[in-house]
Amino acid sequence: MNEITIFLMSTGISSNFLYLLLAIPIVATIVLFSKEVIGVQSFNLFITTLSVLAFISTGLVLGLIITFFILFFDYIIKYFIKDLKLHYTAKIAVVISIASLSIILSLYLAHSFLGINTKISIYSVLVLILLADSLSFTKINKGERRGNIIYIETIILTVISYLIIANDFSKMILLKYPYISIIAIIADIYIGRFSSLRVREFYRFRNVNKE
């Protein structure tokens, strides 16, 4: 391990906790690159980054099961409350409450039928509920279809980021070379100055470019 890593661990910081802290700048850079250069439509960088960390805690399969249940129950909620004249805050309260109950159901089914270990931190649960809140907010402001697309692309981006960062090799590299996180911050600055068309926009306007 790197001397800096050894020193930090000697102060009582666990290797797993240190790894997660070092992983945050890397995940943030992946999300930033995906949004600004590729043109992925996802929730804001903060929510997406937290989602990756939540998936690291829950595991990929359980994380996907929970997010599927959140999306499924979101449809049910909209069906039952669409004709009710509720204030925005009341709708969000209903969404958050149902999301928490859907997570309980998803954990029960994952354990009962798939034998998955469902011992996850409350932090991960709160982040996934925050996803439900973001989904509801986006649908209200940008429409049902756009909200679903953004939610799905957020999950896809979360899975890709998870596969890149949540493995033994990445953990070993980050703990051995912690300054990679600083390089990621420098990369953020360069990406932040990117002013060309995004990859998705090149594809979208390909016929215009040919003309």
Cα(48)–Cα(44) distance, integer angstroms? 6
Q: What stretches of the chain show up as alpha helix (H) in DSSP?
A: 3-10, 15-33, 45-58, 60-81, 88-114, 122-142, 144-165, 168-176, 180-192, 199-204, 206-210
Note whether 129 and 96 are within 8 A (CB). yes
Model pLDDT, residue 206: 62
Model pLDDT, residue 208: 57
Cα(71)–Cα(125) distance, integer angstroms? 15
170, HSE (Cβ side, Cα atoms, 13 Å):
17
Rounded mean pLDDT, 89-106? 86
Which of 77, 182, 174 has the alpha carbon at shortest distance from 132? 77
What are the two backbone dihedrals, phi and then psi, of residue 96, each rounded to the nearest 5 degrees?
-65, -45
Cα(143)–Cα(19) distance, integer angstroms? 38
Tokens of 100: 């928490």
pLDDT digits (tens, 9 = 90+) for 5-49: 887 788 888 888 899 999 999 999 999 999 999 989 899 899 999
Rounded mean pLDDT, 133-143? 82
pLDDT band per the 50, 70, 90 thresholds, residue 145: confident
Global pTM reads: 0.85
pLDDT digits (tens, 9 = 90+) for 164-176: 999 999 999 999 9
Model pLDDT, residue 156: 93
